[in-house]
Amino acid sequence: MADTSLGTAEQLRDPNYTPALAKAIPLGIQHVLAMFVSNVTPAIIIAGAAGFGFGSDAGAQGFPDMTYLIQMSMLFAGIATLFQTIGFGPVGARLPIVQGTSFAFIPIMIPLVAGKGVEALPALFGGVIIGGLFHTFIATFIGKIRFALPPLVTGLVVTMIGLALVKVGIQYAAGGVPAIDKPEYGSLLNWSAALVVVFVTLALKFYAKGMLAVSAVVIGIFVGYLYAMTVGMVTLEGIATSWGRAAPVAFPMPFKYGFELSFAAVVGFCLMAFVSAVETVGDVSGITKGGAGREATEEEITGATYADGVGSAVAGIFGGFPNTSFSQNVGLIAMTGVMSRHVVTIGAIFLIICGLIPKVGAVIRTIPIEVLGGGVIVMFGMVVAAGISMLSDVNWNRRNMVIFAIALSVGLGLQLDPKAVQYLPDTLRILMTSGLLPAALIAIVLNLILPEELSGEATEEVSGGMAG
């Protein structure tokens, strides 16, 4: 319920209204806390997949490249959020939209960097930049392509994103990929740290209200961090060392890792731009309905999509990952009833400040991977749940069941057994083993070309008695 002390009901529904600073500042920071862990997690996952994150030799130097990626995640989430709230020209919805690093691109990025170290980053960021520019181009006709992405397709894609990531959560909770062949992998100590996070998060989600419930994951990770300190997984000396190695202030460097064009990266990021654009359309609609009780205008949808693309392209230049609108904040706006874009601008400034102070990233990198795993299990599980929720809007006739079945079987199957396409050219192999892209492509194409009706007899022979 909205706090009437913040303003009148009419003021609270107005994106241009600014509450008193004493209340606007904590409200803005709330929006940042609701997405903080989700925003920096992709950087940690990609660093780990590439081999310069947790468990790697880079630990001796304090994980400098992972810290930089974390720093850029915070900085450009803040900058992209300013694109949305303040806007310039056609860019930005001028609504209280919080931007952050997108989970959707992780299944695309992991095969691109797997085990290749920092040398994989030029091609990765080349893909981010080109994909961001393509995303910007999509904004010019976003309204015209929505027909090709009904809930059947978008729900499948979001579900596939979650399914691709849940393995990461389990591996982190057990001790991380570098520890897989070591005795401590999967130990009770490792799992206890992850489970503390899971249980605290569940308790807050179900039994707390307001900001405690909204920030359940970040609070769960904080409690897990304290637990890790009590059992010796984190030491004060380690925290002090990490803090001392980090510079007080550092600015982003354009093309710090270079620039390289990789066909697989460009195709992967451009295809995922469609999915990200549709996700943003849904978030904009959710914000205007929940906060202002109206439908989003075409200018707002177009501006929000432009901001997604421009924010991602600019981030890629400096070593940041693709940005998208964060759905967590749709619920937060509905909860607080405050539609002010200037409140979110304050949160964006807070993020930018954090991104310019490497010591913030230095503290984040001291979080044990097992503790992070507990949070990741919850977050990525929620991605799967969100996809299933979207699929609940599908008319489950036999036609849609067959489309879903084929797309899921091929996409998930290739993800589980990447060696099945080991003889394909490298570019195709990387795209196919993501699982996500083949599933999305199959669903989109079949949905466009197959007739609307499918006879009941057509699926009886393969339904195994479960035709319904």
The C-alpha atoms of residue 375 and residue 223 are separated, in whole angstroms, by: 11
So where are the chain's domains? 9-394, 395-451
Q: Which residues of 423-436 are buried (b: 16+ CB within 10 A; e: fewer)?
A: eeeeeebbbbbbbb
pLDDT digits (tens, 9 = 90+) for 370-391: 998 898 888 888 878 878 888 8
Q: Are 262 and 112 in contact (CB under 8 A)?
A: yes
**Whole-model pTM?**
0.82
The C-alpha atoms of residue 288 and residue 278 are separated, in whole angstroms, by: 16
Pick the residue with more confidence: 34 or 313? 313
| Pairing status of strand 323-325 against strand 99-101 | antiparallel
Q: Are 172 and 379 in contact (CB under 8 A)?
A: no
Pick the residue with more confidence: 412 or 464? 412
pLDDT digits (tens, 9 = 90+) for 81-110: 999 999 989 998 898 888 999 888 988 899
Is the four-CA dihedral 342, 346, 352, 355 of positive or negative sign? negative
Residue 80 pLDDT: 94
Through-space distance between the first and last CA atoms of the chain, rounded to whole angstroms: 42
The C-alpha atoms of residue 446 and residue 434 are separated, in whole angstroms, by: 20
Amino acid type, 7: G
**Cβ within 8 Å of residue 8, ≥6 positions away:** none
